[in-house]
């Protein structure tokens, strides 16, 4: 399992556990076993789903951790396969089978990985315009999905209280409704101290989930 991904996973579960007074170490150990297993990707997906099926307390993170499993595949597992595996019909079939899985957090994680590879500091505008290409005509699906983020970019220079207020106004139909506060919160402050993290939790309307996702992003970066 990739070290950064393991740290991100453990940070997310720890943040969730602290708010809810849950012990998360056993669940993290089970997931680590799934990520480390020497088995095909879809078998890992099935194994991960079994772990979540047995632990409904953590259900809110099933698709977020699917994103981590996919990133882990890209960074670790694919190195053991043929060089052009991601161009193969087999992988195309896997993508088709799992097309409804995961969240938009995957794009943020891929962007952070690219920033690390290129040794640049992540920025929201760069993420939107240079990574997602939301201004390009052929990427209007991304523009539609991220339109609330695009319209509220200035929130990264505002208070957490203001960010929380705008989050409440995001339409329920938005694909980023659940992740809006966490993504903007992360780009607003990528190195939160203890007080900043506590303030972030204080203003959240979904504290345990938001804390976990924020902790995940900070740890992964």
Same domain, 126 and 217: yes
- Mean pLDDT is lowest, of 45-49, 109-113, 171-175, for 171-175
Same domain, 96 and 108: no
Residue 83 pLDDT: 78
Helix (H), strand (E) at residue 153: none
Same domain, 77 and 175: no
Task: Output the six-digit token pair for 215.
Answer: 């902790």
**pTM score, two decimals?**
0.93
Same domain, 60 and 145: no
Domain count, the chain: 2
The pLDDT tens digits of the residues spanning 2-22 come to 999 999 999 999 999 999 999
The residue that leads in pLDDT, 53 or 81, is 53
Last residue of a domain, one of 102, 126, 147: 102
Last residue of a domain, one of 74, 102, 130: 102
The pLDDT tens digits of the residues spanning 51-77 come to 999 999 999 999 999 999 999 998 888
Q: Which CA distances in Å does 78 have to 33, 42, 86?
A: 18, 13, 8
Cα gap 112→118, rounded to integer Å? 10
Query: Which residue intervals of 55-135 are DSSP H helices?
Result: 62-75, 89-97, 105-118, 124-126
Last residue of a domain, one of 102, 119, 145: 102
Same domain, 75 and 160: no
Same domain, 85 and 113: no
What's the rounded mean pLDDT across residues 28-40?
A: 95
Residue 187 pLDDT: 97
Report residue 128: phi and psi, to 5°. -70, -50
**pLDDT higher than threshold 90 for residue 140:** no
Same domain, 32 and 112: no
Same domain, 151 and 209: yes
Same domain, 216 and 118: yes
Question: Which residue range(s) make up the domain with 120?
Answer: 103-221
């Amino acid at each position: 399992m990739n070290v950064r991904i393991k740290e991100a996973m453990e940070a997310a579960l720890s943040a969730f556990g602290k708010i809810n007074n849950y012990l998360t170490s056993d669940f993290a150990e089970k997931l680590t076993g799934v990520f480390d297993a020497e088995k095909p990707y879809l078998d890992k997906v099935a194994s991960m789903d079994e772990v979540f099926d047995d632990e409904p307390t953590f259900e809110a993170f099933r698709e977020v951790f699917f994103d981590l499993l996919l990133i882990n595949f890209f960074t670790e597992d694919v190195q053991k396969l043929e060089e052009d595996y991601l161009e193969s019909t087999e992988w195309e079939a896997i993508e088709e089978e799992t097309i409804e899985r995961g969240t938009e957090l995957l794009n943020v994680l891929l962007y952070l990985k690219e920033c690390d590879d290129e040794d640049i500091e992540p920025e929201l505008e760069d993420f939107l315009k240079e990574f997602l290409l939301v201004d390009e005509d052929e990427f209007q699906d991304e523009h539609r999905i991220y339109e609330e983020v695009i319209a509220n970019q200035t929130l990264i220079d505002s208070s957490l209280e203001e960010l929380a207020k705008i989050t409440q106004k995001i339409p329920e139909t938005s694909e980023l409704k659940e992740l809006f506060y966490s993504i903007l919160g992360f780009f607003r402050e990528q190195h939160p101290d203890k007080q900043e993290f506590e303030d972030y939790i204080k203003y959240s309307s979904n504290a345990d989930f938001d804390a976990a996702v924020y902790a995940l992003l900070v740890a992964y970066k």
